[in-house]
Structure 1
């Protein structure tokens, strides 16, 4: 592994040098173990601690099969699916691995008593399997997390509709929170040259998800002039939605939970910001009953910020806690796009405000290869910027996941895997200097 790192860090390494490197028989990865699935039984979700379930251990290196690549992971990041995996909610991910393992001899490798997590990476291709032509050893890459088989016609208009669509590192094994990762070659994209390894690793999942949900014709199809309500606008997903709204000529109305998070949104360029804690919104009277008066009060605040206009698009991801309010405040004929549901999956809303006002709810899940490529292209062009606030070591993955679980973070938190320190991997220094302030916007908030 030291030889791999040394070669990648060398200024004059050639592709042939990377291809000639020996692949280690094992590597370190951040895993959950099947034997631990019941460890949190009886505990409330908030009390489940990823630091107790996530372990860094040596695991055997898989051989890349047809259409696959082995990547030396310089850096990765933590997403909410890492938190879900680590607390075994809503289901232990070993069920995903078992089902995937039944698909073929090749996928059988994924059904293991441990699950290497992680749905982001930035690194260098080490080996490719048969049939891979676009990528070669030595290529500097990032990976999106869509894993598809594409043996069904259903997936050939939009690969997200492939019946065998999965999220790599969540519903498959050999994820990016490790020294080496196994990916399909059609997950790979060029690494933005002006970013460090950890910066390049942080946008992948959330940037692509936000692009499809808000910009793509498969999502809301945002246009210039739209008013876009963005929940959690300073977080890992919302911070990219805020950037896309601003870059696309829309007006983001950013909902956050503290003055510090409000200030981050203003630094990004948003003027309309609502601190929901300061305003004291309580959308639920109790566990079973929502409060429409609070929806109306929330709608009045939005109109105050928009000059009397209602919301064209709601960028929804909290789910149960906010969904009733989201449906209510959307304008007649407007759109609510939804994913994730981090506060609960069982959404409740008053259908009169949807049905009689001709509103639409659109479910959105990650992104297809084209959407992920476009989202990454905007990062590479300096139009959209990383929202990395803090970086952990691979050994500290449990703490990183804990911070995300407890909402102690801002933006995204990164994990150094093979990279020995932060700031490495930059090749386009001129472009970096041009965008340095934007790249570092979230850094002062890391804690």
Structure 2
């Protein structure tokens, strides 16, 4: 995570950044403006004014220190100027600001708010992931401060300086520790925010994938069944077009009804792509539409026998739709891949599970009858989404069986 945050910066790696997104001040940045315009001008200028004015007031109470001259003003303005680069070059910025503050102290100028620029640079470096650089910079500044105040003061301005007392060093140490702790806390919070945002993005992507998979599954189930019926009836119509026009007309009528039904269901599936919150225009199909399914299968030349076991209960919408689609796909596979023209559908209502069993006598008419296609994959996904299972395979007598077990969660009645 720290390495990931470190890459947020721009500019050369030895300065703590990465490649610039646009020319520096050339007006070719991603937002149509130059990189120069995206620097933190407002806060840096505000801090520069505060440091200059605050140091002027602080100097009045420190007559024993060196007066503020042009070099002092340059050092005071150098810190806020370097802070313009704190987001793109945090390592260069924190060392540069610490060096300017150390030179200011070594020159014997009055103590003042120049240390605020060090705190801001340290904060920016730590938050951007450059913890080691920030600790080194502020550590070297602290050591330099100790050397200037307690060891090198006879050789540095102001002349006649008696050196600093050790008592105030406790406050300086507390200030350094506070800056580091606040910066580390902000870094941890930022990393947590980035992590949470990535988690939310991943969850959104998963939900989008699941929704696409659901729509693809619905379209497959609808189209596979209807097109199988249309294909069979088209073959019948072509074969009987000359010898039995009336029977061919019946086949064409079946094709028209099946295609209309398919269009209606496809439109219903695509309705889910509308804006969230809109109510569906038609209820999702369920087991109450099994008679229509049997009628469609009969149009394709398949005789289906329905059998119920146990006391029928109202199912939740998800389980009802899944059960209907499983039966629909199983009958579609019989039409497409079985030589049998009969199928047996058994609905078993247990205490806490709904069992679906679809049998046909066989034999298989193609290589795909073993169940490796998308149809059985979709059935397994539907069952797994509800915590159920699917078993599909040939029977010893040459037929084929699909058996599904779906947990029963009765729909609450008002």
TM-score class normalised by the smaller sequence: under 0.3
Higher relative contact order (CA 8 A, sep 6+): 1
- Structure holding more helix per residue: 2
Q: TM-score, normalised by structure 1?
A: 0.21
- Structure holding more strand per residue: 1
Larger Rg: 2
